[in-house]
Protein backbone atom coordinates (compact mmCIF):
# COMPACT_ATOMS: atom_id res chain seq x y z
CA UNK A 1 0.00 0.00 0.00
CA UNK A 2 1.23 3.50 -0.87
CA UNK A 3 1.74 6.10 1.81
CA UNK A 4 -0.94 8.81 1.95
CA UNK A 5 0.58 12.25 2.51
CA UNK A 6 -1.68 14.58 4.51
CA UNK A 7 -1.28 18.30 3.90
CA UNK A 8 -3.12 19.16 7.13
CA UNK A 9 -2.21 18.68 10.79
CA UNK A 10 -4.63 16.34 12.56
CA UNK A 11 -5.51 17.70 16.00
CA UNK A 12 -5.67 14.35 17.78
CA UNK A 13 -7.63 14.78 21.02
CA UNK A 14 -7.36 11.09 21.86
CA UNK A 15 -3.56 11.28 21.92
CA UNK A 16 -3.40 14.55 23.87
CA UNK A 17 -6.00 13.35 26.41
CA UNK A 18 -3.95 10.17 26.96
CA UNK A 19 -0.82 12.25 27.60
CA UNK A 20 -2.72 14.54 29.98
CA UNK A 21 -4.19 11.57 31.86
CA UNK A 22 -0.71 10.11 32.31
CA UNK A 23 0.49 13.37 33.87
CA UNK A 24 -2.67 13.63 36.01
CA UNK A 25 -2.17 10.06 37.29
CA UNK A 26 1.22 11.10 38.67
CA UNK A 27 -0.30 14.18 40.29
CA UNK A 28 -3.06 12.10 41.90
CA UNK A 29 -0.46 9.56 43.05
CA UNK A 30 1.47 12.35 44.79
CA UNK A 31 -1.73 13.56 46.49
CA UNK A 32 -2.53 9.99 47.57
CA UNK A 33 0.91 9.71 49.20
CA UNK A 34 -0.21 12.63 51.42
CA UNK A 35 -3.52 10.90 52.21
CA UNK A 36 -5.54 13.05 49.79
CA UNK A 37 -7.82 11.46 47.17
CA UNK A 38 -9.73 13.72 44.76
CA UNK A 39 -13.45 12.88 44.63
CA UNK A 40 -15.97 13.53 41.86
CA UNK A 41 -19.72 13.11 42.42
CA UNK A 42 -21.81 12.54 39.30
CA UNK A 43 -25.61 12.81 39.51
CA UNK A 44 -27.72 11.30 36.75
CA UNK A 45 -31.52 11.60 36.79
CA UNK A 46 -33.52 9.23 34.58
CA UNK A 47 -32.47 6.71 31.94
CA UNK A 48 -31.35 8.72 28.93
CA UNK A 49 -29.10 6.28 26.99
CA UNK A 50 -26.61 8.95 25.83
CA UNK A 51 -26.33 10.34 29.37
CA UNK A 52 -25.71 6.84 30.71
CA UNK A 53 -22.84 6.33 28.24
CA UNK A 54 -21.30 9.68 29.23
CA UNK A 55 -21.54 8.86 32.94
CA UNK A 56 -20.00 5.40 32.44
CA UNK A 57 -17.12 6.96 30.49
CA UNK A 58 -16.53 9.55 33.21
CA UNK A 59 -16.34 6.78 35.82
CA UNK A 60 -13.75 4.90 33.73
CA UNK A 61 -11.71 8.08 33.27
CA UNK A 62 -11.70 8.67 37.04
CA UNK A 63 -10.54 5.11 37.70
CA UNK A 64 -7.78 5.53 35.12
CA UNK A 65 -6.17 8.49 36.91
CA UNK A 66 -7.03 7.50 40.50
CA UNK A 67 -9.89 9.93 41.21
CA UNK A 68 -12.62 8.46 43.43
CA UNK A 69 -15.93 8.49 41.56
CA UNK A 70 -19.27 8.68 43.38
CA UNK A 71 -22.35 8.02 41.26
CA UNK A 72 -25.88 9.01 42.27
CA UNK A 73 -28.42 7.51 39.85
CA UNK A 74 -31.87 8.92 40.60
CA UNK A 75 -35.18 7.82 39.05
CA UNK A 76 -36.78 9.94 36.32
CA UNK A 77 -39.58 11.12 38.62
CA UNK A 78 -37.26 12.40 41.40
CA UNK A 79 -38.77 15.59 42.94
CA UNK A 80 -36.72 18.77 42.55
CA UNK A 81 -36.38 19.26 46.31
CA UNK A 82 -34.85 15.80 46.65
CA UNK A 83 -32.25 16.57 43.98
CA UNK A 84 -31.44 19.95 45.55
CA UNK A 85 -31.14 18.26 48.95
CA UNK A 86 -28.62 15.78 47.55
CA UNK A 87 -26.57 18.65 46.08
CA UNK A 88 -26.66 20.43 49.47
CA UNK A 89 -25.31 17.29 51.15
CA UNK A 90 -22.53 16.89 48.56
CA UNK A 91 -21.59 20.56 48.96
CA UNK A 92 -20.93 19.82 52.65
CA UNK A 93 -19.11 16.50 52.06
CA UNK A 94 -15.33 17.02 52.38
CA UNK A 95 -14.58 13.83 50.40
CA UNK A 96 -16.23 15.39 47.32
CA UNK A 97 -14.18 17.95 45.38
CA UNK A 98 -16.31 18.18 42.25
CA UNK A 99 -20.05 17.87 41.60
CA UNK A 100 -21.43 17.25 38.13
CA UNK A 101 -25.12 17.00 37.29
CA UNK A 102 -25.52 15.23 33.95
CA UNK A 103 -27.60 17.28 31.53
CA UNK A 104 -30.22 17.29 30.13
CA UNK A 105 -32.46 16.79 33.15
CA UNK A 106 -36.08 15.54 32.97
CA UNK A 107 -38.46 18.36 32.02
CA UNK A 108 -39.98 18.83 35.49
CA UNK A 109 -36.59 19.83 36.92
CA UNK A 110 -35.26 23.41 36.61
CA UNK A 111 -31.72 23.16 35.22
CA UNK A 112 -30.88 26.76 36.14
CA UNK A 113 -31.93 26.26 39.76
CA UNK A 114 -30.04 22.96 39.97
CA UNK A 115 -26.79 24.42 38.56
CA UNK A 116 -27.02 27.44 40.89
CA UNK A 117 -27.28 25.08 43.88
CA UNK A 118 -23.83 23.56 43.27
CA UNK A 119 -21.10 25.28 45.29
CA UNK A 120 -18.94 27.35 42.86
CA UNK A 121 -15.87 25.73 44.47
CA UNK A 122 -17.15 22.30 43.40
CA UNK A 123 -18.63 23.35 40.05
CA UNK A 124 -16.15 21.44 37.86
CA UNK A 125 -18.42 21.86 34.80
CA UNK A 126 -18.10 25.65 35.28
CA UNK A 127 -21.79 26.34 34.60
CA UNK A 128 -22.53 28.24 37.85
CA UNK A 129 -23.08 32.00 37.28
CA UNK A 130 -20.11 32.75 39.58
CA UNK A 131 -17.73 30.75 37.40
CA UNK A 132 -19.30 32.15 34.22
CA UNK A 133 -18.64 35.67 35.59
CA UNK A 134 -15.03 34.86 36.50
CA UNK A 135 -14.49 33.55 32.97
CA UNK A 136 -15.98 36.74 31.53
CA UNK A 137 -13.48 38.97 33.38
CA UNK A 138 -10.57 36.73 32.42
CA UNK A 139 -9.97 35.11 35.82
CA UNK A 140 -11.59 31.68 35.52
CA UNK A 141 -11.34 29.35 38.49
CA UNK A 142 -12.71 26.59 36.29
CA UNK A 143 -13.32 26.85 32.55
CA UNK A 144 -16.10 24.81 30.89
CA UNK A 145 -14.62 21.49 29.83
CA UNK A 146 -15.30 21.51 26.08
CA UNK A 147 -14.00 25.03 25.30
CA UNK A 148 -11.05 24.49 27.68
CA UNK A 149 -10.28 21.23 25.86
CA UNK A 150 -10.30 23.07 22.52
CA UNK A 151 -7.79 25.59 23.89
CA UNK A 152 -5.49 22.78 25.06
CA UNK A 153 -5.60 21.22 21.58
CA UNK A 154 -4.74 24.55 19.96
CA UNK A 155 -1.87 25.21 22.38
CA UNK A 156 -0.50 21.68 22.02
CA UNK A 157 -0.36 22.18 18.24
CA UNK A 158 1.53 25.49 18.73
CA UNK A 159 -1.17 27.42 16.88
CA UNK A 160 -0.84 31.13 17.61
CA UNK A 161 -4.27 32.64 18.29
CA UNK A 162 -3.29 36.29 18.87
CA UNK A 163 -4.60 38.63 16.19
CA UNK A 164 -6.33 35.83 14.30
CA UNK A 165 -9.88 36.11 13.00
CA UNK A 166 -11.87 33.46 14.92
CA UNK A 167 -15.45 32.53 14.05
CA UNK A 168 -17.47 30.48 16.55
CA UNK A 169 -20.63 28.95 15.10
CA UNK A 170 -23.10 28.38 17.96
CA UNK A 171 -23.97 30.50 21.00
CA UNK A 172 -24.81 27.97 23.71
CA UNK A 173 -23.86 28.65 27.33
CA UNK A 174 -21.98 25.33 27.40
CA UNK A 175 -19.77 25.77 24.32
CA UNK A 176 -20.32 28.79 22.05
CA UNK A 177 -20.23 31.70 24.52
CA UNK A 178 -17.39 30.44 26.77
CA UNK A 179 -15.43 29.36 23.67
CA UNK A 180 -15.60 32.92 22.35
CA UNK A 181 -14.46 34.29 25.71
CA UNK A 182 -11.44 31.97 25.93
CA UNK A 183 -10.38 32.89 22.40
CA UNK A 184 -10.83 36.59 23.20
CA UNK A 185 -8.62 36.24 26.28
CA UNK A 186 -5.93 34.85 23.97
CA UNK A 187 -6.23 38.02 21.85
CA UNK A 188 -8.17 36.57 18.90
CA UNK A 189 -10.71 38.79 17.13
CA UNK A 190 -13.91 36.85 17.69
CA UNK A 191 -17.22 36.67 15.79
CA UNK A 192 -20.09 34.56 17.17
CA UNK A 193 -22.49 33.24 14.54
CA UNK A 194 -25.86 31.56 15.13
CA UNK A 195 -29.17 30.61 13.51
CA UNK A 196 -30.08 34.27 12.82
CA UNK A 197 -26.71 35.18 11.26
CA UNK A 198 -27.03 36.54 7.73
CA UNK A 199 -24.82 34.84 5.14
CA UNK A 200 -23.15 32.38 7.49
CA UNK A 201 -21.02 31.02 4.67
CA UNK A 202 -19.46 34.44 4.02
CA UNK A 203 -18.72 34.93 7.73
CA UNK A 204 -17.13 31.50 8.12
CA UNK A 205 -15.04 31.80 4.98
CA UNK A 206 -13.16 34.77 6.50
CA UNK A 207 -12.07 32.80 9.59
CA UNK A 208 -8.45 31.94 10.32
CA UNK A 209 -9.83 29.70 13.08
CA UNK A 210 -13.32 28.23 12.58
CA UNK A 211 -15.01 26.50 15.52
CA UNK A 212 -18.34 24.78 14.87
CA UNK A 213 -20.71 23.78 17.67
CA UNK A 214 -24.14 23.66 16.01
CA UNK A 215 -25.03 19.96 16.10
CA UNK A 216 -25.81 19.53 12.39
CA UNK A 217 -24.07 16.63 10.65
CA UNK A 218 -21.62 17.69 7.91
CA UNK A 219 -23.16 21.19 7.75
CA UNK A 220 -19.81 22.97 7.36
CA UNK A 221 -18.68 22.13 3.83
CA UNK A 222 -15.49 23.18 2.03
CA UNK A 223 -17.04 26.38 0.67
CA UNK A 224 -17.47 27.64 4.26
CA UNK A 225 -13.74 27.34 4.87
CA UNK A 226 -10.86 29.64 3.97
CA UNK A 227 -7.74 28.04 2.51
CA UNK A 228 -5.32 27.26 5.36
CA UNK A 229 -7.83 27.77 8.18
CA UNK A 230 -7.72 25.87 11.47
CA UNK A 231 -11.02 23.98 11.81
CA UNK A 232 -12.30 22.76 15.18
CA UNK A 233 -15.36 20.49 15.07
CA UNK A 234 -17.23 20.33 18.38
CA UNK A 235 -20.32 18.62 16.93
CA UNK A 236 -21.25 15.04 17.73
CA UNK A 237 -24.07 13.84 15.48
CA UNK A 238 -25.25 10.67 13.77
CA UNK A 239 -25.65 10.64 10.01
CA UNK A 240 -28.31 8.74 8.02
CA UNK A 241 -26.32 5.50 8.40
CA UNK A 242 -26.11 5.96 12.17
CA UNK A 243 -22.37 6.71 12.07
CA UNK A 244 -20.97 9.29 14.51
CA UNK A 245 -19.98 12.41 12.60
CA UNK A 246 -19.24 16.05 13.33
CA UNK A 247 -20.59 19.36 12.02
CA UNK A 248 -17.78 19.48 9.47
CA UNK A 249 -17.56 17.56 6.18
CA UNK A 250 -14.13 16.19 7.10
CA UNK A 251 -13.08 14.58 3.77
CA UNK A 252 -13.67 17.79 1.84
CA UNK A 253 -12.73 20.40 4.46
CA UNK A 254 -9.46 18.63 5.34
CA UNK A 255 -8.26 19.40 1.79
CA UNK A 256 -8.38 23.14 2.59
CA UNK A 257 -7.58 23.24 6.33
CA UNK A 258 -4.08 23.64 7.77
CA UNK A 259 -5.23 21.83 10.92
CA UNK A 260 -8.47 20.01 11.75
CA UNK A 261 -10.04 17.88 14.50
CA UNK A 262 -11.55 14.48 13.67
CA UNK A 263 -14.93 13.26 14.97
CA UNK A 264 -14.76 11.05 16.93
CA UNK A 265 -11.34 11.40 18.57
CA UNK A 266 -10.94 15.17 18.48
CA UNK A 267 -12.67 17.44 20.98
CA UNK A 268 -14.65 14.67 22.77
CA UNK A 269 -11.71 13.04 24.62
CA UNK A 270 -10.46 16.51 25.59
CA UNK A 271 -13.79 17.43 27.22
CA UNK A 272 -13.46 14.41 29.49
CA UNK A 273 -9.79 15.11 30.23
CA UNK A 274 -10.58 18.69 31.27
CA UNK A 275 -13.22 17.44 33.72
CA UNK A 276 -10.49 15.41 35.45
CA UNK A 277 -8.16 18.42 35.41
CA UNK A 278 -10.85 20.64 36.99
CA UNK A 279 -11.53 18.00 39.67
CA UNK A 280 -7.84 17.79 40.61
CA UNK A 281 -7.67 21.60 40.67
CA UNK A 282 -10.69 21.70 43.00
CA UNK A 283 -9.02 19.12 45.25
CA UNK A 284 -5.85 21.21 45.43
CA UNK A 285 -7.91 24.30 46.26
CA UNK A 286 -9.83 22.50 49.01
CA UNK A 287 -6.57 21.25 50.48
CA UNK A 288 -4.95 24.70 50.12
CA UNK A 289 -2.19 23.40 47.88
CA UNK A 290 -0.43 25.73 45.44
CA UNK A 291 -1.72 25.49 41.88
CA UNK A 292 0.65 25.36 38.94
Please tell me the predicted confidence (pLDDT) of residue 50: 86
Please tell me the predicted confidence (pLDDT) of residue 163: 98
What angle (nearest 5°) sits at the alpha carbon of residue 85, between those of residues 83 and 90? 95
Please tell me the predicted confidence (pLDDT) of residue 288: 85
Please tell me the predicted confidence (pLDDT) of residue 257: 98
Please tell me the predicted confidence (pLDDT) of residue 1: 43
Is the fold of 35-119 the same as that of 145-268? yes
Catalytic residue among 61, 97, 125, 208: 125
> Is 102 labeled as catalytic in the residue annotation?
yes
Catalytic residue among 12, 61, 97, 102: 102
Please tell me the predicted confidence (pLDDT) of residue 223: 97
Number of C-beta neighbours around residue 173 at 10 A: 12
> Is 58 labeled as catalytic in the residue annotation?
yes
The architecture of the domain spanning 145-268 is: 3-Layer(aba) Sandwich (3.40)
Number of C-beta neighbours around residue 199 at 10 A: 9
Please tell me the predicted confidence (pLDDT) of residue 291: 57
225-282 pLDDT per residue, tens: 999 999 999 999 988 888 899 999 999 999 999 999 999 999 999 999 999 999 999 9
Domains of the chain, by residue range, sit at: 35-119, 145-268
- CATH code: domain 35-119 is 3.40.50.10860
For every residue of 196-251, DSSP letters joined together read T-SSHHHHHTT-SEEEE-S--TT-B-GGGS-TT-EEEE---EE-TTS-EE-SB-HH
Please tell me the predicted confidence (pLDDT) of residue 197: 97
Catalytic residue among 58, 177, 226, 281: 58
Mean pLDDT of successive 10-residue stretches along the chain, which has 292 residues: 65 98 98 97 94 93 98 98 98 98 96 98 97 96 96 98 98 96 98 97 98 96 98 92 93 97 96 98 90 52
Q: How far apart are the C-alpha atoms of 25 and 31, rounded to whole Å?
A: 10
Please tell me the predicted confidence (pLDDT) of residue 290: 61
Amino acid sequence: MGCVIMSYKLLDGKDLAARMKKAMSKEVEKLASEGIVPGLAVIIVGNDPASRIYVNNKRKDCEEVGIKSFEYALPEETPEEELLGLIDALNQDSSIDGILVQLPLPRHLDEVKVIRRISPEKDVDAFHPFNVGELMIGRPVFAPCTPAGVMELIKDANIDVAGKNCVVVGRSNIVGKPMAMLMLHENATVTICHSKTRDLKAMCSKADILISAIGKANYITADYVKEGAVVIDVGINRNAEGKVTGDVDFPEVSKKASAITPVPGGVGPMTRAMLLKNTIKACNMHNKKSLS
